[in-house]
Amino acid sequence: MRVFDVGETVVRRDVYRGRVWSAQALRVIEDTDVALVTACRPGAQALWPSLYVKARSDGDRSVRMEAFDAMATGEWELAPGLWQDTELLLWKPPGAWFSVNAFYVPDREGRRLRNRYVNFEHPTTRTLGGFDTFDLAVDLVIDPDLTTIEWKDVDEYAHARRLGIVSDTEHQAVELARTQVLALLEDRAGPFADADRWTAWRWDTAWPPPRLLQRPLDELLP
């Protein structure tokens, strides 16, 4: 397995039934046997399902449900997008059915940690230019001091389950991952053991926002 270099641009792809559902350009922060840590900032290039882009631009969350319908039928198109508003730090341990994502926003003192999201998703498969996974819709939102949590997008997860996008096997993996994450949070272990370090993290100002690799995404196979 190739180890990515610090500062290298990689592409995270969400892949469903052999097709790219989304792609996000990221910078590598560190790559160890504990976790692959990547980041992006406003202006980072992405490809998203066109219905997601529409939901964002219109402020109509119901359109996101339509995107799941399109996923289930295999009838979706990708549209170019740019990451906006926040800096993102993504912590992904090998083999895990989740990632921990920290979101930073501007404030009077420069920037602050807004919250953490735990995305429940497939374990990563490394590619020539990054890694593949698949977001399973449901998220856990954690406040900056790690004391308050809230489950998010439960309705979207239930819809994905009804459509067969999330299988029974995947659901069982998500349930196990929920238990693992809550235990890590309670014990301040894993990514939560280094909470102060990641809260203090800063984007390297020498790095421009990452761009999607020029060669076709379909060529970035394992």
| pLDDT tens-digit series, residues 10-48 | 999 999 999 999 999 999 999 999 999 999 999 999 999
Burial class (CB in 10 A: 0-12, 13-18, 19+), 101: buried
Which of 26, 149, 169, 154 shows the shortest CA–CA distance to 92? Answer: 26
- The pLDDT-based confidence of 222 (bands split at 50, 70, 90) is very low
Which of 87, 67, 94, 47 shows the shortest CA–CA distance to 165? Answer: 67
pLDDT tens, residue by residue, 53-69: 776 766 666 777 888 99
Number of helices and strands in the chain (H, E): 5, 12
pLDDT tens, residue by residue, 116-135: 999 999 999 999 889 999 99
